[in-house]
Structure 1
Amino acid sequence: MHPVQGGAAAKSVMGAVVARLDRLDALRGIAALLVVWQHTSESFVKIPGVAERGSWLADLAWSVDFGRIGVVCFFLISGFIIPHSFSSGPGALKKFAIRRLFRLYPVYWVSILVALMAGSILANRHWEPIAVITNLSMMQKLLGQEHIQGLYWTLQVELIFYILCACLFFSGKMKNMVFLTFFAGGCLFVFVGQELLLRSIAGEESISAELRYIPYFLSIMFCGTLLRAVFWEEHPLSRKLFFLTAPAAAFGIPALVLMLHFLGFSVVDQPVRFGAAYLIALAIFLLAIFIPWRVPGILAWFGLISYSIYLFHPVAMRIVHWTNKQSWAGFTENWALWVYMSAGFAITLLIATCTFYLIERPAIAVGRRLSRRKVMTEGMAVT
């Protein structure tokens, strides 16, 4: 190949990769919007008089569980990206840990502080010191404490996934897609076996659904890794078909739940919501990643600040509820559901924009500087 042709081909490939990553960022924005829609609609529709003025926005979100769709999209995105975020060379594991630490925790800790203040001031809600301390770890449920904000459960799953990825990288298995196919299948096997055992012996209520579903969500995250290998990497066709067995099994479960329901057998509560949510999430993920489309600027921005949107929208909801109850806020009494949702989303965007530019982005920059310095120091020591 002529050097100029080779350079053009490389630029074309790089452009395609950048476009796919842009669509991935946009997908984050879509996922965040779905979660906010779910939570705001189901919360504000309970305000007296709101449902009588129309509840279709809440009914639509509930019917297929927009929140679950958004969360599963987030999990697939993490699986698609995180295993490939490890650098090569000395200090790669420390670099990954430092960058993840500064990416996740600073704004998360701020969200805890803001949630505590909002709960205390606006709802007279207070938390025990042990609950606050364990929440700082992001592993509070595993430590026997409740989440200060219910949505933190997904971050706990993310953190477990990061730890597993670090262990797989350390063991040299991170790029072994055959091994990851078996690993994802193993997580799924643990989940199914555990569910069958609990149903037959102990009863499902003996372990919270949040903890029971961790193996399933981990399987879904590694399915994101395998889908990247299938659609974005060079592998023999036979290998790609083998890699697809894990996603087929993981998303075959909700498909099976739907099929059994239509045949008259309901194996879970709300089988239509359960089955549809996972399958719709998979479809959105595949369409967003693998079908070329131009990303609107506003959607790219939502994706940029999606973590802050996710963390702070419950605070915005609390502010709207508090305002609605004040004597001076009589103008809100006749609002339709969409107006309440719009107000909640506007406050969410205001808070998320501030926290992204004041907390998130500076913390990410610090993590990058520290990780580079750490790697350079270790490289010099090895030399």
Structure 2
Amino acid sequence: MSSPRPVPPDSAAHAGRRLAWLDALRGVGAVAVLLEHMLYRFLPGLRPYWMNLGIYGVMVFFLVSGYVIPASLENKGDVRRFWLGRLFRLYPLYLLVIVIVLLSTPLVPVRQGVGADPETVAAHVTMLLDLVWTPGIGETMWTLSYEMAFYLLITALFVGGSHRRSGLFAVLSAVAALGVGLLLARPLTAYVAAELWTFGVMAAGLALVLVGRGWVRAVGAVVVGALAVVLVLVGGRIPWLGPAILSVMFTGTVLYRWERGEISHLWAVAGVAVPLAATPFFAARAGWWADPPVWLATMALVAATFALGMAFRRRRVPRALVWLGLVSYSVYLLHHPLMKLFLAVYGDPRREPLLLQAALAVAYITVVLGLSWVTYRLVERPMQTLGRRLSRALPEPPVPTRGRETVSASNLG
């Protein structure tokens, strides 16, 4: 899979411009997840079963995150600025959705398994929900567990100076997915209450990384990195899916480094593809989406989507897709609570004639997109701006020995 070494763009304008194709991919991922949850309620005859729209959407998201998140950390050159940015990027909307769900309880009961206890609160604070066997108050929040684990891991790698070995970590994660699939049918966190100790370890480790220096910071990096690895390997509700997701995210990082000209080949992508394709054949059945034909079709479509995005990355992207990318986080977190609220008020749309089902589906999508734009404008964007202002107020980190990455900071959210 050797490919010509791409030439990094040399103009400051190109380096600083927003990478709209990544927004487009985010938009595609958000719409896919929305459709997966909507179609079986509104237009079940249109729901595909040869692939899974939900897994497709979240894997596209994970590839994009893997592409931009390590670049964001390297661009900032400082773990404190990175985590401040992540805090203001993820938590404001996340907390708002939790409030919306709680306020909706007179009409929509909180999902089964979500308790009002310190363990549940701790799991939601860390966002490591799926990795500590705790259902999120919002059904789609499970993916944030792996996003957070990835942040912890790349923080450890950055502090340890190993963050550029993305290909190795991508392949190791894919092989780990196959191994875990062979060995574990149920996560170890199903037998151990992990929420509180995970909260304590994560808080202590991050405190050492963000406040400490020298060996103190190194110890903190080992703590958060080890926590991420252990939870991903033995904590996920579907044990092999965690390392599979990590391998997809590190593959995104490999593609970023190849596109920037830091590496000249894509052998790691092949090293990831083989074990990922094989894992569902040997692992305990996780659901119809993980049946080998469905899994292979879904992941092939994920790869094709990202490849298409990269192929057209220097061309003008449809503004509608870019807009969807901007509101994608809001769409992702809001659409499921809004659907449950709609069903509680209206009832089951599947009993209606087909044309009315279609009209209700259009109305639902319109409401989701409209409210997502509102939350983006009033919550996400102001909080991201505040995070950047606070980040600029921090002391400048030491100048790195290598040049900083030039991906636009505005696109690294």
Tell me, yes or no, if structure 1 residue 374 matches structure 2 residue 394.
yes
Tell me, yes or no, if structure 1 residue 154 matches structure 2 residue 143.
yes
Deviation at 1:344, TM superposition (A): 2.1
2:56 matched to which residue of 1?
A: 69
Within 1, Cα distance between the matches of 2:121 and 2:187?
31
Q: TM-score, normalised by structure 1?
A: 0.78
Gaps of 5+ in 2: 1-8, 192-234, 283-287, 399-413
1:257-314 CA distances to partner (integer Å, 9 max, x unpaired)?
79x89xxxxx995222111111100110111122254312221111101100100000
Structure 1 residues 107 and 211: CA distance shift in structure 2, 3 A:
farther
2:4 matched to which residue of 1?
A: none
Structure 1 residues 115 and 357: CA distance shift in structure 2, 3 A:
same
More helix by share: 1
Deviation at 1:124, TM superposition (A): 3.3
Within 2, Cα distance between the matches of 1:163 and 1:220?
16
1:274 matched to which residue of 2?
A: 295
1:172 matched to which residue of 2?
A: 161
1:289 matched to which residue of 2?
A: 310
Within 2, Cα distance between the matches of 1:88 and 1:352?
29
Identity rate, percent? 31
Structure 1 residues 234 and 128: CA distance shift in structure 2, 3 A:
closer
Report the RMSD for the aligned CA atoms in angstroms.
Answer: 3.1
Paired residue type of 1:80? Y
Gaps of 5+ in 1: 1-8, 46-54, 262-266
Deviation at 1:340, TM superposition (A): 3.0
Count of matched residue positions in the alignment of Structure 1 and Structure 2: 334
1:246 matched to which residue of 2?
A: 268
- One of 253, 257, 263 as aligned partner of 1:229: 257
Paired residue type of 2:305? I
SS in 2 for 1:192: helix
Structure 1 residues 114 and 210: CA distance shift in structure 2, 3 A:
farther
Within 2, Cα distance between the matches of 1:158 and 1:121?
31
Structure 1 residues 333 and 234: CA distance shift in structure 2, 3 A:
closer
2:173 matched to which residue of 1?
A: 187
1:62-87 CA distances to partner (integer Å, 9 max, x unpaired)?
33111111111111101111111125
Deviation at 1:158, TM superposition (A): 0.5
Within 2, Cα distance between the matches of 1:66 and 1:280?
10
1:319 matched to which residue of 2?
A: 341
Deviation at 1:117, TM superposition (A): 2.0
Tell me, yes or no, if structure 1 residue 41 matches structure 2 residue 31.
no
Structure 1 residues 370 and 268: CA distance shift in structure 2, 3 A:
closer
Structure 1 residues 349 and 322: CA distance shift in structure 2, 3 A:
same
1:123 matched to which residue of 2?
A: 108
Deviation at 1:336, TM superposition (A): 4.2
2:194 matched to which residue of 1?
A: none
Paired residue type of 2:261? E
Structure 1 residues 299 and 269: CA distance shift in structure 2, 3 A:
closer
Paired residue type of 1:151? T
Structure 1 residues 349 and 269: CA distance shift in structure 2, 3 A:
closer
Structure 1 residues 249 and 337: CA distance shift in structure 2, 3 A:
farther
2:209 matched to which residue of 1?
A: none
Paired residue type of 2:57? G
Q: Are the aligned partners of 1:324 and 1:333 in contact in 2 as well (CA < 8 Å)?
A: no
Q: Are the aligned partners of 2:139 and 2:336 in contact in 1 as well (CA < 8 Å)?
A: no
Within 2, Cα distance between the matches of 1:160 and 1:345?
31
2:128 matched to which residue of 1?
A: 139
Within 2, Cα distance between the matches of 1:197 and 1:74?
28
Please identify the structure whose Cα radius of gyration is greater: 1
1:159-193 CA distances to partner (integer Å, 9 max, x unpaired)?
1111111111111122x3xx322222222222211
- One of 344, 350, 353 as aligned partner of 2:370: 350
SS in 2 for 1:122: coil
Within 2, Cα distance between the matches of 1:361 and 1:268?
34
Tell me, yes or no, if structure 1 residue 306 matches structure 2 residue 305.
no
Within 2, Cα distance between the matches of 1:311 and 1:346?
15
SS in 2 for 1:81: helix
Structure 1 residues 220 and 305: CA distance shift in structure 2, 3 A:
same
